[in-house]
Amino acid sequence: MTTDTATPTTLRPPPGPRLPMPVQTVLFGMLRHHWLPRLRRRYGEVFRMHIYPEGHVVSLSNMDDIRAVFTGSSTVFHAGEGNMALGPVMGEHSVLLTDEQVHLRARKLLMPAFHGAALRGYRELVGELAEAEVRRWPTGRPVGTHHSMRTLTLEVILRVVFGVHAGARLDELRTRLARLLEIGPLDMLGWYNPGLRRIGPWRRFAENQRRVDELLYAEIAERRLAADLDSRADVLSRLLTVPAEGERLSEAELRDQLVTLLLAGHETTATALAWAFHELARDPSRQATAAEAAADPGAEGDRYLEAVAKESMRLHPVLTEVARKLTTEVRLGGYRIPAGYTVLPSIALVHADPDRHDQPHLFRPERFLGEGTPTSSWLPFGGGVRRCLGAGFSLMEAVVVLRAVLTRYRLAPDRQRPEHPRPRHITLVPSRGARVLVTSR
């Protein structure tokens, strides 16, 4: 596998389906977890699709090609441009949507809040909130763990970002942020078509988003005036006090980073935890091992619980791919990929590859213990310089929440047939909310 960005090549572009763009867009949006494996079987590890609004996109599932993208020049592989589908919600200044020096500036500002001592300091907070949430679970009847985990992880990220939990403004923000994520692939059409935002559900989404922005701008304005700003440890206060290359962040820049953290900082972890409960409920033996690990507050207990979380993310990837927009022509997998195309390293296809993961359809946390741990082919947080800032936070949170649940409850499926994934905006979630029966230990 080679990449070549300096000279033109006579190689042909990758093959792919010839269906009309609207049909491919619907298939990708609604059925990508079924459609992409079929395309891989037909066309191989590199294939092309035509999808609105991105245009031409190329799926990659060979690890050599994916490594070439992750380690390639950030001036060639633009992750921010590749994520532009999120722009109408996240905002143009979001760390997810910027590239090169602008991205590095935003990442440098946000990184201290999710590493080292700050990360360790959040553990007790997560534990307290997890205990309070799971204590409310009713025993003897089905619990929708996905809804519960979304409630919990949203509360966690609100505390981390704002440092407070009370007040009418935050109460309203909780409700409206949850509503902001209650969208499907068709709802996303309103993001790119201003005319639709005046109609029905798209109008209601736009009104809700405007109100979220109003609440965030009011919180920013109030926090700027706080007398104890320098002594606060929450993310908003850090962003207001840390100089950004000698410049103060504008209100718009602050808004975009806050929305990114609030939305991206809880949804994926909640879904991964829900899938973990779904799998543990159907595997009594591994649930017993996980419960023993939960009863051990030491490093060994954490290690197994982290393996449970990692295997949940492998078997049920919440995000099925990451995106990079090409600023110049490259060669990948023996094909020519023109400038302007978007390449999609496929998390889902790699995670399901039997050459990378033995018996990939089985839930086996043990694959993340001992020798042979599939670190290079485990991609839920992306890779390279654009690897998710919150990866460590997400795994810490998952371990703490798993411990809170498994030390209190036994889990069982509410019905024999497993749940299947369904699309929810850019993620895949359990079709019935990862419902489990819980009984007290």
Length of the chain measured in residues? 441
Task: Quote the distance between the C-alpha of residue 230 and its chain's center.
Answer: 31
3-class DSSP state for residue 411?
strand
pLDDT band at 262 (very low <50, low <70, confident <90, very high): confident
User: Tokens 């409630």 correspond to what residue?
Assistant: 151
Ordered DSSP codes for 287-346: HHHHHHHHH--SHHHHHHHHHHHHHHHHHS-SS-B--EEESS-EEETTEEE-TT-EEEEB
Is the confidence at residue 324, as pLDDT, over 90? yes
| Contact assessment for residue 433 and residue 274, using Cβ atoms and an 8 Å cutoff | yes
Range of lowest pLDDT (119-123, 327-331, 404-408): 119-123
Going from the N-terminus, what domains does the chain have, and what CATH number goes with each? 21-440 (1.10.630.10)
Residues 6+ apart with CB under 8 A from 248: none
Query: Nearest CA to 39 among 429, 385, 361, 348?
Result: 348
| Alpha-carbon dihedral sign for residues 254, 259, 260, 266 | positive
Tell me how far apart the alpha carbons of residues 333 and 314 are, in angstroms, rounded to a whole number.
24
The secondary structure element, H or E, covering residue 148 is: helix 145-162
Contact 425, 402 (CB under 8 A): no
Confidence of residue 313 (pLDDT cuts 50, 70, 90): very high
Provide CB contacts within 8 A for 38, sequence distance 6+: none
Please state, in angstroms and rounded to a whole number, the distance separating the CA atoms of residues 33 and 424: 12
Judge whether 76 and 326 are in contact, CB under 8 Å: yes
Measured CA to CA in angstroms, residue 50 lies from 17, 19, 54, 74, 436 at distances of 9, 9, 8, 24, 39
And the tokens for 125?
């907070």
pLDDT over 60 (residue 271): yes
pLDDT band at 243 (very low <50, low <70, confident <90, very high): low
Region 4-10: mean pLDDT is: 51
Which comes out higher in pLDDT, residue 234 or 4?
234
Q: Which two tokens stand for residue 27?
A: 């298939």
Q: Confidence class of residue 335 from pLDDT cuts 50, 70 and 90?
A: very high
The pLDDT value recorded for residue 190 is 67
What is the value of pTM for the model shown?
Answer: 0.91
First to last CA, the chain: 53
Dihedral angle sign, alpha carbons of residues 151, 157, 162, 165 = positive
DSSP label at residue 424: E
Average pLDDT over residues 315-334: 96
Quick one: DSSP state of residue 387?
Answer: S
355: pLDDT strictly greater than 90: yes
Q: What pLDDT shows up at residue 215?
A: 93
| 86 pLDDT tier (thresholds 50, 70, 90) | confident
**What's the pLDDT tens digit per position in 227-239?**
888 888 888 988 8
Local structure of 56: helix, strand or coil = strand
* The residue type at 384: G
DSSP 8-state code for residue 154:
H
Give Cα 351 distance to the centre of its chain: 15
| pLDDT beyond 60 at 358 | yes
pLDDT at 61 over 50: yes
pLDDT range class, residue 320, cuts 50, 70, 90: very high
At 6, is the pLDDT very low, low, confident or very high (cuts 50, 70, 90)?
very low
Between CA 248 and CA 366 the distance in angstroms is 47
Best CA proximity match to 145, nearest among 312, 275, 286, 305:
275
pLDDT score recorded for residue 2: 47
pLDDT greater than 60 at residue 9 = no
What's the mean per-residue pLDDT of the chain? 90
Q: What is the pLDDT of residues 288-308, one digit of tens each?
A: 999 999 999 889 999 999 999
Pairwise CA distance, residues 357 & 361, whole Å = 9
| pLDDT given at position 212 | 92
Mean per-residue pLDDT for 43-54?
Answer: 94
Check residues 2 and 170 and name the one with the higher pLDDT.
Answer: 170
CA 123 – CA 136 distance, rounded (Å): 21
CB 61 within 8 A of CB 353: yes
DSSP-based three-state secondary structure for 144: strand
Over the stretch 111-141, which tens digit does the pLDDT of each residue have?
888 877 777 889 999 999 999 999 999 998 8
Percent of the chain's residues with pLDDT above 70: 94
pLDDT at 264: 84
- Please give the C-alpha separations between residue 380 and each of 95, 348, 392, in angstroms, as whole numbers: 18, 9, 12
